[in-house]
Amino acid sequence: MKIAICEEMRNIDRAAAEEYGLPELLLMENAGHMVAQAMEHLLGNVAGRNICIMAGSGNNGGDAFAAARYLSNMGAKIKIFLTCEPEHLKTASARMMKVCKQMGIEVHGLDEDRDWNRLHVALKFADGIIDGLLGTGFSGELKKKVLRLIEEVNEAGKKVLAIDIPSGVEADTGKVSTVAIVADMTLTLGLPKVGHLLSPGADMTGQLIVDDIGIPQSLLQDSKIQQNLLDEKMAVTLLPLRGKAVHKGDCGRILVIAGSQGMTGAAALAATSALRAGAGVVTLAVPASLQPILAGQLQEVMVQPVGEPEQTFLGGEKSLNKLLELAQSHDAVLIGPGLGRSMETQELIRMFAAKVNKPLVMDADAIFAFNNQPDDLSKLPQVPVLTPHLGEMAGLLGVSVSELQEALLPIVREAASEYQCILVVKSECTLIVYPDGMAFFSSLGNPGMATAGSGDVLAGTITGLMKQTEGGLAPLAGVYLHGRAGDIVYGEKGEGLLAGDIRDNLPAALKELRQKQMAGR
């Protein structure tokens, strides 16, 4: 499924009217019908229920008026509160309001104290509320009346259905400048929006339902739209099925360069996650002094000592040459988990990345090595996959986390293009962006995955899939399996889950995906 930014959605609406002859009023009618059905789903039954509808001056308000008519026909008791003067309504919205009035549905303004008193009473006895105030066109600061109304709705503590996007959330960023509607459910029209997936907008959205409202699929699936939802439907296409004659070499020989004194866990998690993702052979290259510790833990991973016997971190020409030699016999390389940030280690990372000509995944301390020189990423002999969390991404670009979050998608998109790398940015919704600008938002994950080592598992999972996938799809397949494994264990352990639990549930996520692939054949 595609994900739209505002300009793209406006173009779709325009093309629906001009190229397909679908008038705005018809799409508004369809939207109103779907909103009414969504409200019935949210409340269980609308007959005899009190529903307050908040309507603004734009098409979002028109959708709300259309919904009011359907809900009234379904037996609901409706009160509509309008934030603008009726003459300021757009043409289609004004026609929808006229029908509501002719049906005897109450429509009230919010100009005087008695209007607000009426609102207080209505909200007190309401069973549900529909937010049709602003829609996707909103950005910047809220007008005082709308701000007050949003606060009133949130304080009412009733079930809220938002039309398209909760009012107060910027559709292209998820940003909330002051306050926004906290919805239990959002019915978005046409396509999901970026603001549904990135916080704080994601926290306001509640259950997200998508309906095309009759817009032709050719418009909704236009290849010019470069944002995509990484969901189950996409995931089943990412990982080719294995033949019976497959052997471990076919599944990938993976080199993981990781670990330093006090950071052996990151190395172990990354290496074993590559195996759990289906890689055939995994070699873990670690500082020589750590080899006995990790070799005793990891029965299925070949643990290779690098450097002098007493060495507790990687660095120096001898270590570099050894790692380059190891890389030659492997299909893909992961470098970074728990490596440390000593000057020698950081220099080794940069030199190794510049000389190795294998698919390369860079995580944690390997990303930090390029903080002062991100331009060097574009000079590497391969297109590396970087897996930063927001703090690491901000550090790489020399901005604050808050600045990054202000415009996450465009900033990451520009960075992927400029530095010629694939960026897997870990946040409340993992974002994968390719150098050509194609972006994917994960539909999976949960708060329990905010735990130490989760990123090491993701990096290992992606690298473990490098040989098993084609066309640079390993980051997508890895993010999906990692998120699905996290969701499986979250159902059992909630916020007490550990990174090792995510790793241990990768086989269950992979098995589930294979079953869906077979079912679809």
Please report, in range form, the residues annotated as the binding site for (6S)-NADPHX.
59-63, 135-141, 164, 266, 338, 389, 456
**CB of 202 within 8 A of CB of 180?**
no
**CB of 17 within 8 A of CB of 23?**
yes
Taking the CA atoms of 63, 85, 14 and 199 in sequence, report the sign of the dihedral they define. Answer: negative
Please give the Cα distance from 456 to 79 (Å, whole number). 53
Q: Is the peptide bond before 240 cis (omega within 30 degrees of 0)?
A: no
Please give the Cα distance from 164 to 149 (Å, whole number). 18
Q: Which residues are annotated as a binding site for K(+)?
A: 60, 131, 167
Please give the Cα distance from 102 to 110 (Å, whole number). 21
Please give the Cα distance from 504 to 412 (Å, whole number). 31
Q: Which residues are annotated as a binding site?
A: 59-63, 131, 135-141, 164, 167, 266, 338, 389, 426-430, 455-456
Structure tokens at 458: 């993701």
- What torsion, rounded to 10 degrees, do the Cα atoms 323, 319, 256, 497 define? -170
Q: Which residues are annotated as a binding site for AMP?
A: 426-430, 455
Q: Which residues, in sequence order, are CB contacts of 517 under 8 Å at separation 6+?
A: 236, 239, 241
**CB of 477 within 8 A of CB of 469?**
yes
Taking every pair of Cα atoms in the chain, the longest distance, rounded to a whole number of angstroms, is 87
| 38 CB-contact burial (10 Å; exposed 0-12 / middle 13-18 / buried 19+) | buried
Please give the Cα distance from 154 to 201 (Å, whole number). 15
* Residue 131: its H or E element: strand 128-132
* Residue 160: its H or E element: strand 159-163
* Residue 425: its H or E element: strand 422-425
